[in-house]
Amino acid sequence: MKRNRLFWGAVAPIAAILTSLFLMYIILSLRGADPFALFKLMVSYGFDPRNLVSETNLTVSYYLAGVAAAIGFKMLLFNIGIDGQYRMGAFFGAVVGAAVNLPPILHVLLIIIVAMVAAGAWASIAGYLKVRRGVSEVISNIMLNFIAAAIIAFLLSPKLLGSLPEGSQNVQTKPIPASGQMPTIKIFDGEVYSVFFLAIFVGIAYWIMLNKTVFGFNLRATGLSFRAARSSGVNAPGMIFITTCISGAIAGLVGIGTLLSDTHSYSMAFPSGFAFTGLSLAILGRNHPVGIFFAAFLWSFLERAGQVLEFEGIPPEIVIVMQGTIVLSIVIAYEVVARINLRQQQKAVGKVSSEVLSEAESK
């Protein structure tokens, strides 16, 4: 039964990827290009060691966004506020990190904790509105994303918390001193951010929390049925609130790699779009930490490898089409697999019932 489940779990993503490759094939053919030559080019470019390094760093950010979204999904929450939460985390982490002087490890820890608390607190607004006022978290989070961007833009003014380095057009926070920076691992002429290890830890902690602890059981129970959880003694509204905050706190880690291993200061140039990516990856990875990891790698691989298309006169945005197709097909594929599984179980149940009955009769 277990092997059966693993098999069906793998079928859906592979089918989705093949579907999107097929669509890519059609689009590229229509443009008069040779699809297989381009696929080959993308693969060799994507697996180039130097590109692999940057893909790894992007994978880590995507992975954390994916886990943040997955925690929300387990509670039936659509955390589209990951963008705003990650910005809040990175910004306040940067500000506090630049303002204090602490011994190396403590300094990094403080920045990480500040980032998580700031992002979690920002998410708690949506949580409060949902639990106490019945506001859909989708609506409040979309607005909170804009508000977060606006607040940070305001605070980044050189008169307040920002600074304008000489010869630069970009306002940014003051630089974090060396004690607050995270080391990198040098391989293949590139540098892998050490936040990689933190991401692995987050993935494991997420899985254990969800599957092994009473807290995780209550979280899943509330997500599966609010009323049943409440009747069983769970403080269901409280669980929704706490889950929103945890999801936000994990989102606060998304920008840590770039901040502590690369730029050492926050600026408006920090990328956006982590909410949609995170949600897509959580769906693709079925909210499982290992699944999300593969999905995150696939995403950053496609984005990086797609850049080579530009040299061939093909817009690299075609990768977005491919990602979109994968997500769409995966949703359908998972639903089909879920129905097949339920039907198989019902059949097994039916078999037992009729066996029991015929036994009873033969007596």
Partner 1 sequence: MSNILEISGIEKKYPGVVANRDVSLIVREGTIHAIIGENGAGKSTLMKTLYGLIRPDAGTIKVFGDEVTLKSPQDAIALGIGMVHQHFKLADNATVLENVILGSEPSRFGFIIKYDEAREKLLEIAKTYQLDIDPDERLSNLGVGERQRVEIAKVLYRGAKILILDEPTAVLVPQEVSELFANLRELVKKGLTVLFISHKLDEVLSISDEITVMRQGTTVASLTPAGTTKKMLAELMVGGELPKPIAGHQVVSEKSFLSLKGASYTRHDGREILHNLDLEVHGGEIVGLAGVEGNGQSELIELVMGLLQANVGSVEVLGLDASNTLTRDIRNAGVAYIPQDRQRDGVLMFAPLWENRILGHQFASPMAKGIWVDKHAAIEDSNRVVEEFDVRTPGVNVLVSALSGGNQQKFIVGRELSGDPKLIIAAQPTRGVDVGAQAIIWDHLMRARSRGAAILLISADLEELFSLSDRLAVIYSGSIVSILDPAKTTPEDLGLAMTGANN
Q: Which residues of this chain interact with partner 1, rule CB under 8 A?
A: 1, 212-218, 220-221, 224-225, 227-235, 342, 345-354, 356-358, 360-361
Q: How far is the CB of 229 from partner 1 (least distance, A)?
A: 8
Provide, rounded to whole angstroms, the least separation between the CB of residue 312 and partner 1.
46
**Residue 34 is encoded by which pair of tokens?**
């040779």
Query: 187 or 224, CB closer to partner 1?
Result: 224
> Least separation, in Å, of the C-beta of 303 and partner 1?
34
CB 267 within 8 A of CB 54: no
Q: Say how far residue 297 (Cα) sits from the centre of its chain.
A: 11
State the minimum distance, in angstroms, from the CB of residue 9 to partner 1: 15
Least CB distance to partner 1 at residue 227 (A): 5
Assigned token pair, 136: 């859909």
C-beta of 44 vs 345, nearer to partner 1 = 345
Considering beta carbons, is residue 8 or 294 the nearer one to partner 1? 8
Q: Closer to partner 1 at the Cβ: 72 or 180? A: 72
Compute the least distance from the CB of residue 118 to partner 1, in Å.
27
Nearest CB to partner 1, comparing residues 44 and 341: 341
286 phi-psi bin (left φ>0, alpha ψ -120 to 50, beta other): left
The CB-of-172 to partner 1 minimum distance in angstroms stands at: 42
Cα–Cα distance measured from residue 205 to residue 225, given in angstroms and rounded to the nearest whole number: 24
Token pair for residue 292? 């999300």
CB closer to partner 1, 131 vs 326 = 131
Of the two residues 44 and 213, which places its CB atom closer to partner 1 in the complex? 213
> What is Dmax (Cα atoms) for the chain?
93
Q: Provide DSSP, 2-54.
A: HHHHHHHHHHHHHHHHHHHHHHHHHHHHHTT--HHHHHHHHHHHHTSHHHHHH
C-beta of 204 vs 342, nearer to partner 1: 342
End-to-end CA distance of the chain: 32
The H or E element containing residue 172 is strand 172-173
Length reported for the chain: 363
**Measured between alpha carbons, how far is 316 from 301 in angstroms, rounded to an integer?**
13
The residues, any chain, with a CB within 8 Å of residue 39's CB and separated by 6 or more, are 21, 24
* CB of 336 vs partner 1, minimal distance in Å: 16
